[in-house]
Structure 1
Amino acid sequence: MEGKEEDVRLGANRYRERQPIGTAAQSQDTKDYQEPPPAPIFEPGELSSWSFYRAGIAEFVATFLFLYITVLTVMGVNKSPSKCSTVGIQGIAWAFGGMIFALVYCTAGISGGHINPAVTFGLLLARKLSLTRAVFYMIMQCLGAICGAAVVKGFQKNQYERLGGGANTISHGYTKGDGLGAEIVGTFVLVYTVFSATDAKRNARDSHVPILAPLPIGFAVFLVHLATIPITGTGINPARSLGAALIYNKDLAWDDHWIFWVGPFIGAALAALYHQIVIRAIPFKSK
């Protein structure tokens, strides 16, 4: 009986009714964390490393597969006169989100699983990778996207141009400002999720919460597509927009193409600033 009373006393002291919240709670009983140094702006030594080129190849293949599956899904939906007989908009959103989940899972350990120049740009601003690697990634991502869209056109043959080629355009009834805003906010959601899901400091602080990074990233892509497909077809990825536009190569695809570069880059920059200045300002034990 005495031992039971001791357990109750310890439990009452350990789990008090009035617990600190917010940053006060987060600063208690946390694991020591050593902040990694920022990546150098230029790292010429990378150019002689096989791992550097392997990472670029992984980004190329991942973006190729991403465009192949997603644009082919879009073509299948556009081909049917009745959206009810196909996967519909929800299916397109699942295709984009699901492929990001799978591809980030497969390539995260090799290249970081960016598959998107906007993600690469955001991580560059946060000094998570060098400018050398960032430029290389963006080139490989764009090349992979072009090749992926080209393979889809090869399958679709004469129907590809009639079905729109999966190119991003501003939908009827929306302005350029609407499209730009949708791309900025959509990319902010994606890049903010990337930062949060891959933050080593958060993983140390919240080590009791298992996080599979590709899952929230893929789910963010899915949700953004549900929201913005009716507005822009959802770009939030300049490589995806470039690949589809270049292979489709009609005036409609190029008229507002700048939106699908400027919007994602602004959204990525805002997400990087928010995460580094606001989120990373949480008090934390540093060693």
Structure 2
Amino acid sequence: MTKIFTAELIGTFILVFFGCGAAVIAGADGTSGIGLTGIALAFGLAIVAAAYGLGAISGAHLNPAVSLGVLLAGRMTTASFVTYVIAQVLGAIAGAAVLWIVASGSAGFGGGLGSNGYGPGYLGEYSLVAALVFEAVMTFLFVTVILGATGPGASAGFAGLAIGLTLAAIHLVGIKVTGVSVNPARSIGPALFEGGRALAQLWVFILAPLAGAALAGILHRNGLTRAD
């Protein structure tokens, strides 16, 4: 389990640093930065990198919601689930910490680390209901794709690409809604450093993704979304 713990910690670090770093360092301004499309691709490519670099060790869940879906699908034990989640949260915190150190070295750093949010003043200013629905539904779809891409009958060697592209597509649709979490660990890391509103709204990005992932795992376990 030590190797699995290490792989999940490093993999989640990659996801947070690359994804949130793209937003914080490379910028969301399409005229001088990479824009929303670039940020979406950064999250997707981070998953691809971690999946092919570390997936053979741990499966590269990198996400407590994914691990919950795998648990409820009957593919891992509760003890393993706890180990995965601890590693993922610590990896996300480490990724956010390094990002803060790097970003704060700029005179223009405003303190943001790509945290998730909703409501007045946050990107598209979507409502709480919109945020909850978006995060739950997108996590359900994301975990369903993961369980299918790594299950019986799936094309060998293509899971990482399918999962990464799915995450990129989710970001293309939803960055302006919530910044896109679909991953409690990814939300916890930046929120701990930003504090304030990001921390106050964190419950949304823990509860909604876990609910969507749970449904995906249950449906898969009952054969409704399983190839066999």
Q: TM (normalized to structure 1)?
A: 0.73
Structure 2, gaps ≥5 residues long:
none
Q: Which amino acid aligns with 1:63?
A: T
- Counterpart check, 1:257 vs 2:202: yes
Q: Which amino acid aligns with 2:213?
A: A
**Which residue is 2:182 aligned to?**
236
CA distance in 1, matches of 2:157, 2:56: 15
CA distance in 2, matches of 1:112, 1:119: 10
CA distance in 2, matches of 1:191, 1:63: 16
- Counterpart check, 1:117 vs 2:69: no
**Which residue is 1:192 aligned to?**
144
- Counterpart check, 1:168 vs 2:120: no
Q: Give 1:77 deviation, angstroms.
A: 4.4
CA contact (8 A) 2:89 2:189 kept: yes
**Which residue is 1:71 aligned to?**
20
Bigger radius of gyration: 1
**Which residue is 1:270 aligned to?**
215
Q: Which moved more, 1:259-268 or 1:165-174?
A: 165-174
Size of the alignment, in residue pairs?
222
**Which residue is 2:79 aligned to?**
132
**In the TM superposition, what are the counterparts of 1:147-226 in structure 2 within 5 Å?**
147-157=94-104, 162-172=110-120, 173-200=125-152, 202-203=153-154, 212-226=158-172
CA distance in 2, matches of 1:161, 1:240: 20
RMSD value, Cα: 1.8
Q: Give 1:165 deviation, angstroms.
A: 1.4
CA distance in 2, matches of 1:219, 1:158: 32
* CA 1:269–1:71: 2 relative to 1, 3 Å: same
* CA 1:265–1:135: 2 relative to 1, 3 Å: same
Structure 1, gaps ≥5 residues long:
1-51, 204-208
Q: Which amino acid aligns with 1:169?
A: G
* CA 1:179–1:89: 2 relative to 1, 3 Å: same
Q: Give 1:148 deviation, angstroms.
A: 0.7
- Counterpart check, 1:62 vs 2:11: yes
CA contact (8 A) 1:100 1:214 kept: yes
Q: Which amino acid aligns with 1:149?
A: A
Aligned-residue identity in percent: 36
Q: TM (normalized to structure 2)?
A: 0.91
CA distance in 2, matches of 1:54, 1:111: 8
CA distance in 1, matches of 2:78, 2:156: 31
* Cα deviation code 1:106-129 (max 9, x no counterpart): 122101110001000100111211
* Cα deviation code 1:177-229 (max 9, x no counterpart): 110111011111210110110112x24xxxxx555110110011000011110
Structure 1 moving runs of 4+ over 4 Å: 158-161
CA contact (8 A) 2:14 2:95 kept: yes
Q: Give 1:163 deviation, angstroms.
A: 4.9
CA contact (8 A) 1:107 1:113 kept: yes
CA distance in 2, matches of 1:221, 1:171: 23
Q: Give 1:64 deviation, angstroms.
A: 1.1
Q: Which amino acid aligns with 1:111?
A: S
